[in-house]
Amino acid sequence: MRLGTIESIWRYPVKGMRGHEIPYVYTAFSGLMGDRIYGVIAADGDPAFPWHTGRDQEEFVLYEASYKSGEDLLLPKDLDAFEGLAPGINPIYPDAESFRVEVKTPEGKTYDIESPEFLKDLEQATERSLRLHVTQMGQHDCRPLSIFSLSAAAKLGEETGMAVDKRRFRANFYVDWDDQDDPFYEFSLVGKTLKIGEKLEIAVIERDPRCKMITLDPDTADESPKLLQHVSRNHGGDAGVFAAVLQEGRVRKGDPIYLK
């Protein structure tokens, strides 16, 4: 049973920084290839959530992170050969050097993220002691995949009287559902298994509880608390869903989504 299509695919090289749209990507058990590889940790952060994000510095969502390797980090090399093997044989990812990131600050300065100058600039702006953390496994708040629908963004805009940009919700997969009657259709998929494209299979695990991040305009970092207040009062604090990967595979913009 077809449920909808992938409207766009987004990944975030640095946790909390601006994401970018990509045309296709390999999606593994650990999430999208190259998603949230880098994070910034604060010495004075909560041990349970030590990350420095837009919750601490609104302008952090305006920092633009991009991979120097470009399209080399969309699919593993020789993926076709690996996909012809038995399930569970993982393709080889590029080495760590390929995952180097360049960051452009809101003021227009550009840094290699691992340069001392980048952290020095950020520490001066925030008056915090910070350090980088990097892992190819990704650094997600909860599950490795997040899904949010265009219909949910439109409905929240209608309910709040705001122009609600989908990017506020920082999802990996933005979707168009075929069901036009329920703008929050993804909530009904919790507990179900979906197939996306030719191979990827995911389990929708839970609704996505929201925080201050959705209040930040992705272009200006201006804060609109009423959006989070509305989601909390009228939608149980949730918007979008989290999913886990059951079978790895590549995903393309426009891929159909099926109920398994």
**Which CATH code fits 2-259?**
2.40.33.20
Q: Euclidean distance between the first and final Cα of the chain, in Å?
A: 7
Task: State both tokens at 122.
Answer: 């950020």
Q: pLDDT (tens digit, 0 to 9) for every residue of the chain, 260 residues total?
A: 999 999 999 999 999 999 999 999 999 999 999 999 999 999 998 888 899 999 999 999 999 999 988 767 899 988 888 877 766 678 888 888 889 999 999 999 999 999 999 999 999 999 999 999 998 878 888 789 999 999 999 999 999 999 999 999 999 999 999 988 999 999 999 999 999 999 999 999 999 999 999 999 999 999 999 999 999 999 999 999 999 999 999 999 999 999 99
Residue 152 CB: number of other CB atoms within 10 A?
A: 27
Cα–Cα distance measured from residue 251 to residue 260, given in angstroms and rounded to the nearest whole number: 17
**4 three-state secondary structure:** strand
CA 193 to chain centre: 20
Provide the 8-state DSSP code for 144: S
Q: Is 89 exposed, middle or buried (0-12, 13-18, 19+ CB in 10 A)?
A: exposed
